[in-house]
Amino acid sequence: MSRLSDPLPDAAPAGRLAVVGIGPGAAEWLAPAAREELALAQDIVGYTTYVELAGPFRAEQRVLDSDNRCEMERARLAFELAAQGRRVAVVSSGDPGIFAMAAAVMEALEQSHDPNWHAVELVILPGISAAQLAAARVGAPLGHDFCVLSLSNNLKPWAQIARRLEHAAQADLVIALYNPRSVARPQQFAQALDLLRIHRAPTTPVVLGRDVGRPDELVRVTTLGEVVPEQVDMRTVVIIGSSQTRLFPRLTGGNWVYTPRWYP
Amino acid sequence: MSRLSDPLPDAAPAGRLAVVGIGPGAAEWLAPAAREELALAQDIVGYTTYVELAGPFRAEQRVLDSDNRCEMERARLAFELAAQGRRVAVVSSGDPGIFAMAAAVMEALEQSHDPNWHAVELVILPGISAAQLAAARVGAPLGHDFCVLSLSNNLKPWAQIARRLEHAAQADLVIALYNPRSVARPQQFAQALDLLRIHRAPTTPVVLGRDVGRPDELVRVTTLGEVVPEQVDMRTVVIIGSSQTRLFPRLTGGNWVYTPRWYP
């Protein structure tokens, strides 16, 4: 077995693998650094929906999109291509570092003993994550200390999720929830609400951002007392205010929401 | 006193106020939406350092930068200009919604009873925050549940900060610390380390990102056992791993860091 400390074979081509955050999807949020990586890539790897948002690509660029292959398979495919000397972009929505492709790419690399994979020039380009744009649409709910939690128990036990929610509630942190509710686990967002309602008032502002930054964007401001689980799905990011988060009327209708910079 | 529900004076000009996140500073991270707002603004308001990063501006654009006027004063100045019908950009580094100008702008608006302020077209443009780029430079330390805390006690009591650190530690969240240490309060980062060392192993990965995305960028990977407060100042963002955050060697030297997508 080869080791990391072994010298590389003389002929080893060193490709490049860029994990590219495209942000919420619209071109207006794509950083120039990300646009350039996508333009220079020979191979584009990613989930079909995100690849379509990141495109169009030129005819000579190879698009290796997939509908539901798992993240680890995509990460390994990207390393295989880059290790052959290709310039590869892995497309990720939002910020690849926040519940997206970057962790899978790192895991694939750590597990690999192929020195050619480790010789790949690996870069990660951050992007604007869904909670950031949802927050901006309604004011500044993340304006003070906050946490970002995934409610999905596909890869972690629910007990750990509940424990984190409990501590976040006791710490009076603003809470941004990703993957809040899916068809396969419709009850967990309701359980999370039950838990948070023990600690926070019914008037606590809640922001629901669905498909933020895309044509069907729907951002709603509601409260912890009024929100119902059916308003939320996997394409929604949920922001739950702290005890200090405030609402006030917006002249054009609805409310602004913000968390003050100070704590009493 | 006029009220929000009063009709606007017929002659009231409705200006525009955009709180523009320029990201870490380099042009490659400035989203097209932010670049366009800066290009169209008549008045540019902001802290001198950030205004310089966001420029250059055209001769006919009025730059109202300031060295150390407080955030609330800048927010009120921006509303006064926009309420006169001007198109104003408030420049914020990183994401204005994360420990930056957006919360001050919202607070200024909520406190105002001037209907012309409330009639201003207010938009907030998110940007890439320092922790996101620092994370990307070393891998994916924010790849799983995390929290973002400011260690500054200028606007909140230290007891509340300590309480949040304690809960974040018990919840085994990755912790990103903003404003970790200043000349005026050199001891608090050391206190935070003392607290976290009770809960987490000395081998816990720690990322220090200073001036990330700027010419003097310095990103270091160390551990909770080895980090010393003197490595950190106000221009540093600190990321402290959870019990699951992993380090592995990088072929070009140093280590990659990531937090796996799964929890055992």
Of B128, B155, B172, which one is at a domain's C-terminal end?
A: B128
Residue A111: other Cβ atoms inside 10 A: 12
Closest-CA residue to A15 (of A39, A42, A36):
A42
Site from B40, B128, B154, B166 to mutate, A interface, most A CB atoms within 10 angstroms = B128
- Say if residue A151 is in the same domain as residue A114: no
CATH of the domain at A154: 3.30.950.10
E-strand stretches of chain B: 16-21, 43-47, 62-66, 87-92, 121-125, 139-140, 146-150, 174-178, 205-210, 218-223, 236-240, 246-249, 255-258
In a domain, A200, yes or no: yes
- Say if residue B100 is in the same domain as residue B124: yes
Provide the token pair at A43: 């191979």
Q: CA distances (Å), B187 to each of B133, B198, B228, in order?
A: 26, 17, 11
pLDDT for residue A11 is more than 60? no
Does the distance separating the beta carbons of A150 and B145 come in below 8 Å?
A: yes
Q: Which residue in chain A is spatially nearest to B30 when comparing CA positions?
A: A31
Tell me which of A57-71, A181-195, B155-169 is least confident.
A57-71
End-to-end C-alpha distance for chain A, whole angstroms: 60
In a domain, B262, yes or no: no
Burial class (CB within 10 angstroms; exposed 0-12, middle 13-18, buried 19+) of A140: buried
Tell me which chain B residues have a C-beta less than 8 angstroms from the C-beta of A109: 248, 256
Q: Cα–Cα distance between B241 and B260 in angstroms, integer?
A: 11
Q: Cα–Cα distance between B96 and B74 in angstroms, integer?
A: 13
A4, A97, A145: residue with CB nearest B150: A145
Residue with tokens 């309701």: A190
- Say if residue A151 is in the same domain as residue A245: yes
Per-position b or e across A51-90, b if 16+ CB within 10 A of its CB: bebbeeeeeebebbbeeeeebeebbbbbbbbbbeebbbbb
Q: Which residue in chain B is spatially nearest to A110 when comparing CA positions?
A: B248
In a domain, A113, yes or no: yes
Of B112, B128, B144, which one is at a domain's C-terminal end?
A: B128
pLDDT for residue A183 is more than 90? no
pLDDT for residue A175 is more than 50? yes
Q: Residue A217 is which amino acid? A: E
Residue with tokens 């509340």: B160
pLDDT for residue A256 is more than 70? yes
pLDDT for residue A5 is more than 90? no
Tell me which chain A residues have a C-beta less than 8 angstroms from the C-beta of B116: none
- Say if residue A143 is in the same domain as residue A84: no
- The confidence score (pLDDT) of residue A2 equals 43
- Say if residue A81 is in the same domain as residue A184: no
User: In sequence order, which residues have a C-beta less than 8 Å from that of residue B1 and are 6 or more positions away?
Assistant: B113
Q: Is B253 left (phi over 0), alpha (psi -120 to 50) or beta?
A: left
pLDDT for residue A178 is more than 90? yes
Inter-residue contact A244 to A230 (CB < 8 Å): no
Q: What is the pLDDT averaged over residues A202-227? A: 97
- Say if residue A95 is in the same domain as residue A139: no
Q: Cα–Cα distance between B110 and B136 in angstroms, integer?
A: 36
- Say if residue B93 is in the same domain as residue B42: yes
- The confidence score (pLDDT) of residue A1 equals 39
| Total structural domains within chain A | 2
The alpha carbon dihedral of B133, B139, B141, B143 has a sign of positive
Q: What is the pLDDT averaged over residues A190-197? A: 97
Residue with tokens 């895309």: A214
CATH of the domain at A83: 3.40.1010.10
Residue with tokens 């927050």: A135
In a domain, A2, yes or no: no
Does the distance separating the beta carbons of B256 and A109 come in below 8 Å?
A: yes
pLDDT for residue A12 is more than 60? no
- Say if residue A24 is in the same domain as residue A47: yes
Closest-CA residue to A247 (of A135, A136, A130, A138):
A138
From A68's Cα to the closest Cα of chain B, the distance in A is 17
Site from B113, B152, B167 to mutate, A interface, most A CB atoms within 10 angstroms = B167
- Say if residue B135 is in the same domain as residue B242: yes
pLDDT tens, B5-21? 454 555 556 899 999 99
From B134's Cα to the closest Cα of chain A, the distance in A is 9
- Say if residue A190 is in the same domain as residue A219: yes
User: In sequence order, which residues have a C-beta less than 8 Å from that of residue A183 and are 6 or more positions away?
Assistant: none
Q: Cα–Cα distance between A142 and A145 in angstroms, integer?
A: 7
pLDDT tens, A105-119? 999 999 999 999 999
Residue spans of alpha helices (H) in chain A: 32-40, 48-54, 71-83, 101-111, 115-118, 130-138, 158-170, 188-199
Over the Cα atoms of chain B, what is R_g?
21
Q: Which residue in chain B is spatially nearest to A19 when comparing CA positions?
A: B136
Closest-CA residue to B233 (of B209, B206, B207):
B209
pLDDT tens, A153-170? 888 899 999 999 999 999
Average pLDDT, chain A: 93
- The confidence score (pLDDT) of residue B12 equals 53
Q: What is the pLDDT averaged over residues A18-37? A: 96
Of A90, A109, A128, which one is at a domain's C-terminal end?
A: A128
Q: Residue A248 forms beta bridges with which residues?
A: A256
Tell me which chain B residues have a C-beta less than 8 angstroms from the C-beta of A127: 128
Tell me which chain A residues have a C-beta less than 8 angstroms from the C-beta of B30: 31-32
In a domain, B260, yes or no: no
In a domain, A10, yes or no: no
Residue ranges making up the domain that contains A155: 131-258
From A222's Cα to the closest Cα of chain B, the distance in A is 18
Q: Which residues of chain B have pLDDT under 70?
A: 1-13, 68-69
- Say if residue A158 is in the same domain as residue A101: no
Does the distance separating the beta carbons of B147 and A173 come in below 8 Å?
A: yes
From A67's Cα to the closest Cα of chain B, the distance in A is 20
Inter-residue contact B146 to B191 (CB < 8 Å): no
How many H-runs (helices) and E-runs (strands) does chain B carry?
8, 13
Inter-residue contact B43 to B61 (CB < 8 Å): yes
Q: Cα–Cα distance between B32 and A57 in angstroms, integer?
A: 19
Inter-residue contact A71 to A101 (CB < 8 Å): yes
- Say if residue B234 is in the same domain as residue B136: yes
In a domain, A135, yes or no: yes
What are φ and ψ of residue A240, in 5° steps?
-110, 125
What are φ and ψ of residue A78, in 5° steps?
-65, -45
Instruction: Report how far Cα B261 is from the mean position of its chain's Cα atoms.
Output: 25
In a domain, B244, yes or no: yes
Tell me which of A65-79, A196-210, A233-247 is least confident.
A65-79
What are φ and ψ of residue A249, in 5° steps?
-70, 145
- The DSSP 8-state label assigned to residue B85 in this structure reads T
Inter-residue contact B128 to A127 (CB < 8 Å): yes
Tell me which chain A residues have a C-beta less than 8 angstroms from the C-beta of B262: 155-156
A99, A102, A261: residue with CB nearest B155: A261
Closest-CA residue to B246 (of B258, B264, B263):
B258
Does the distance separating the beta carbons of A139 and B260 come in below 8 Å?
A: no
